Amino acid sequence: MYVVIIGCGRLGSELAYRLFKRGHEISVVDEVAAAFDELPTDFIGRIIEGDALNQDVLHRAGIERADAVAVVTNKDTLNLVVGRVASELYHVANVILRNYHPDTFSLFDAFGLQVVSSTSWGAQRIEEMLYHSDIRTVFSAGNGEVEVYEITVSKEWGGKKIQDLIPCSDCMLIALSRNGRAFMPDKNETLNVGDILDIGATFEGIEALREKMRKPVKEG
């Protein structure tokens, strides 16, 4: 895969190096020559100094043959404009943009481009870790709007039905693992202590589930 990365700060340089180590061909663009010092010494790829808003710079980066473009500077306006150019003018199939300031996220969303808001995503992860350790995040979709959580069934919920635990529309059971074997159970399946549940949920949904787990249903 040939990838053009716009921005060689900490995020861009880390992304470039990770992709390089996986055998991909990389071009990195930054308007500040010193930014390339962030790249590890064993990185091999094209380095282009210049303004990414300049078409000549994009041409030198090889954007015409790029399989993917990642625009990850700390300037949201630049990221959005270059991302639109890559998508609309050069027809790059896979364009990923960084959203630096959460206040401008709606601008990215309006253009329908793939965007990663590292600040919002990171804040949500830390919030979850501060609040809870009983439910673990194992996969995050988008910017964390929907995630997959792993829950180990406690003794309070052993013997209860799945439908008693997960009734809300913002939660969906993906799989149940028992004795090393995963399967997709019926909602009437009885839970055993130590079962592992993989649940897809919104943030609101998982909060509702946490609250429910604190108050297990009574027998009968």
User: What domains appear along the chain, each with residue ranges and CATH number?
Assistant: 2-118 (3.40.50.720), 130-214 (3.30.70.1450)
Question: Which one has a higher pLDDT value, 101 or 90?
Answer: 90
Confidence of residue 69 (pLDDT cuts 50, 70, 90): very high
Amino acid (1-letter code) at residue 77: T
This model's pTM is above 0.85 = no
In the prediction, which pLDDT does 216 show? 58
Q: Is the pLDDT of residue 16 over 60?
A: yes
What is the average per-residue pLDDT within 174-197?
90
In the prediction, which pLDDT does 128 show? 62
* Of residues 134, 139, 130, the one with CA closest to residue 199: 139
Confidence of residue 198 (pLDDT cuts 50, 70, 90): very high
- What is the chain's Cα-based Rg? 22
Confidence of residue 192 (pLDDT cuts 50, 70, 90): very high
Give the C-alpha separation, 57 to 97, whole Å: 18
In the prediction, which pLDDT does 217 show? 60
Confidence of residue 125 (pLDDT cuts 50, 70, 90): low
Q: Is the pLDDT of residue 219 over 60?
A: no
What is the average per-residue pLDDT within 71-96?
94
Q: Is the pLDDT of residue 132 over 60?
A: no
Task: Compute the half-sphere exposure of residue 183: CA atoms within 13 Å on the CB side of its CA.
Answer: 10
φ and ψ at residue 105, rounded to 5 degrees: -60, -35
When the pLDDT of each residue in the chain is averaged and rounded to a whole number, the result is 88
With the CA atoms of 18, 36, 94 and 125 taken in that order, what torsion angle do they form, in degrees rounded to the nearest 10? 60
What is the average per-residue pLDDT within 98-121?
80
Under a CB-based contact definition with an 8 Å cutoff, are residues 160 and 216 in contact? yes
